[in-house]
Chains A and B, each alone.
Chain A
Amino acid sequence: DVKVTQSSRYLVKRTGEKVFLECVQDMDHENMFWYRQDPGLGLRLIYFSYDVKMKEKGDIPEGYSVSREKKERFSLILESASTNQTSMYLCASRNPGLASRRDTQYFGPGTRLTVL
């Protein structure tokens, strides 16, 4: 079974703080993704990484950055948190080399971030 974990289920931060959200997968997946989920808006892609040290902007990258120094770990960074970044953050991973499931994304449990 694929296991994707996130460092915190709930997080409360203050405006202007630097925030790190961590995601770890244990299945040697090459691709990793960060989404945010907001009511009525579905899931929106923030950043993704198709391999170590690689990163690509998604649909809503403003105010975020990412880091992928090791294959199993993908970090989302809020350089200066703002109230409009209060949201549920979901990490996902994918193994494009597995023919039968090359497109399947496996999600972590999510981190609910509140910025006060």
Chain B
Amino acid sequence: GENVEQHPSTLSVQEGDSAVIKCTYSDSASNYFPWYKQELGKRPQLIIDIRSNVGEKKDQRIAVTLNKTAKHFSLHITETQPEDSAVYFCAASNGGGADGLTFGKGTHLIIQP
């Protein structure tokens, strides 16, 4: 089955700086890669996703890049703000099937004032 590795487990950045979280996956059949943000005590919320026919996707301060050859994808957050503090999860699946998502173990992002 699919295996998703996520790094780092904790990331502390100064407010206004950029943050990058990296994930690798093992199954070359995976073609859907979402990122979820989970604030303390709340449900995971989708913030951005990418399919394997695209190399990069951007939404305001958030971007995701995908390298299919190397089987890795990354989340980039620019101009970080205090409200970006949360746990972020990457995931992978064979989109189009009914399979569930395979998640990374999460990154706790801390924005230092």
Contact = CB atoms under 8 A, between A and B. Distances in A.
B1 interface: yes
Contact of B43 (A41, A42, A107): A107
B39 to A, nearest CB: 12
A90 interface: yes
- Name the 3 nearest CB pairs between A and B, nearest first: A50-B98, A45-B100, A42-B105
A48 B51 CA distance: 22
B42 A109 contact: yes
B88 to A, nearest CB: 11
Interface in B3-55: 6, 9, 32, 34, 36, 42-46, 49, 51
B86 to A, nearest CB: 14
Interface of A: 31, 33, 35, 40-45, 48, 50, 56, 58-59, 90, 92, 96, 102-110
A110 B34 contact: no
A31 B97 CA distance: 10
Contacts, number: 62
A40 B102 CA distance: 15
B49 A104 contact: yes
B99 interface: yes
B106 A42 contact: yes
Contact of B104 (A42, A58, A102): A42
Contacts of B113: none
Given A90-B44, A103-B32, A104-B34, A42 B100 contact: no
Given A35-B100, A48-B100, A103-B32, A108 B43 contact: yes
Contacts of A90: 43-44
A103 B95 contact: yes
A104 B100 CA distance: 10
